[in-house]
Structure 1
């Protein structure tokens, strides 16, 4: 079955892209979950949808095919990430307000641009829920570049991100430039969300960044182990979603999410089973 899957170039592009997304989305998601910013992925994904709709509008109304919806979506996501950090500074005592503000703005712009672009079509549907045939070779190279950037930044600033995630006050006292690191982190999140839309879809991308992490937390004994397990679970979900999406002719995003939920449920059962065994040993 897998031999047939790799016979076309576009499927190869999709599979390699999926492997990269399965790596960087849960990897960055581990920090997002620990920092209690899970909803930031939803906010930025809705702004990305607005950017995609804007790109489709440029293509259809103004015949501007040079800038594809993929790149306009990425641009909108990066700009929104900058606004998130600005709003967090404005509302210092209520920093969580930045997320619903950006999310609401993204939804509003999406409705406007989708209406101007004559509503939903096949292209927009693929962006919403992912597609096994939408990834071009150029998209793959772009996502490879994003992956390199994400991995490089996380390796260079792992200590700073770790400290800010678990004890921000101590990190600031230690001399870490919290504002710069926060800004860099939110930019990475925007890039990863934009990169993931081809495979998972705009409406489901936040699930790939949080569900594998939620499953890993139930089994891991430390943060590094959480990262490793979340990446493993993310890769399993992506591969399952892509292969099933191709053979059953369904958008891969839904299968990726349902596979992630199944892994989460199994991890919860495994945790409960281990606890019951531990209790029996204690009683004995």
Structure 2
């Protein structure tokens, strides 16, 4: 039977493609800013939000979004205090989010099984309501990235020069963090909290190796991410595997192949 005849697979593919596009585009800025761990930091905060929402009985998407946005503000606040050591902010929020998630999960022992889909992703976890939320927020994020493209470009490569050019660097950084938080929150259903960072970073890493211009970096990253998600969902359906892990393994394999081919070409030359 054709897998697309199942409603849950239609929702999974639609949500997966939207998430792949968002994660890959944000990933380019994240990798170039040397903040590759931001996905891990925000995803652990989002996981704490999921656990907290389950504990008090509200929609988990709202809890994840609230906690990841708070974490985004904290990262930017801490980062401003450690200008030369931005990774400190990521480490602090990551460990804090993980600790809070562990405490909340231990308080709600009855929903530990339900959390597995948030940790590694699930094909059946994406509801019609989730797809609507992902579509609306995804469209808003795409519009925001286009609108702020020049500002994000300037801040990514040189914050000091951007300040001199009159760009509100602090406001742009806060917007960037919040957009990343939303992308991470939306991605948890398909990829899982433990693996979303890889979907953000790996396609961008592939594009950095292959792209000849800044704009082509986005295109290559998006192609790698969409291919990884579509093939990962297909394989995970056929063999009953965790979709998040399958998607990430495919993306990682692409990166390894690209690096190997480049190394062989370098050796031959």
TM-score by length of 1: 0.91
Q: Contact 2:54–2:111 (CA<8 Å) still a contact in 1?
A: no
Relative to structure 1, the CA distance from residue 5 to residue 119 in structure 2 (aligned partners, 3 Å threshold; closer, same or farther) is same
Q: Where do 1:1-284 residues align within 5 Å?
A: 4-58=2-56, 64=57, 67-118=58-109, 121-276=112-267, 279=269
- Offset of residue 120 of structure 1: 6.1
- Count of residue pairs the alignment pairs up: 269
Give the Å deviation of 1:169.
1.5
Aligned partners of 2:212 and 2:263: how far apart in 1? 15
1:27-83 deviation per Cα after TM superposition (whole angstroms, max 9, x unaligned): 10000000011111111111111111112222xxxxx3xx22222111110111111
Q: CA deviation at 1:89?
A: 2.4
Q: CA deviation at 1:260?
A: 0.6
Question: Which SS does the other structure have where 1:6 is aligned?
Answer: helix
- The RMSD of aligned alpha carbons is 1.4
Determine the C-alpha separation between the residues in 2 that align with 1:124 and 1:204.
Answer: 14
Maintained 8 Å contact 1:211/1:264:
yes
> When the two structures are superposed, what TM-score results if normalisation uses the length of structure 2?
0.96
Between the aligned partners of 1:267 and 1:92, the Cα distance in structure 2 is 34
Query: What SS class does the counterpart of residue 5 from structure 2 fall into?
Result: coil
User: Which segments of structure 1 move beyond 6 Å, counting only runs of 4 or more?
Assistant: none
Which has the larger Rg? 1
SS of residue paired to 1:250: coil
CA apart distance, 1:119? 6.2
Of 90-99 and 26-35, the range deviating more from structure 2: 90-99
Give ranges in structure 1 of 5+ residues lacking alignment.
59-63, 280-284
Distance 2:264 2:65 in 1: 43
Q: CA deviation at 1:276?
A: 4.5
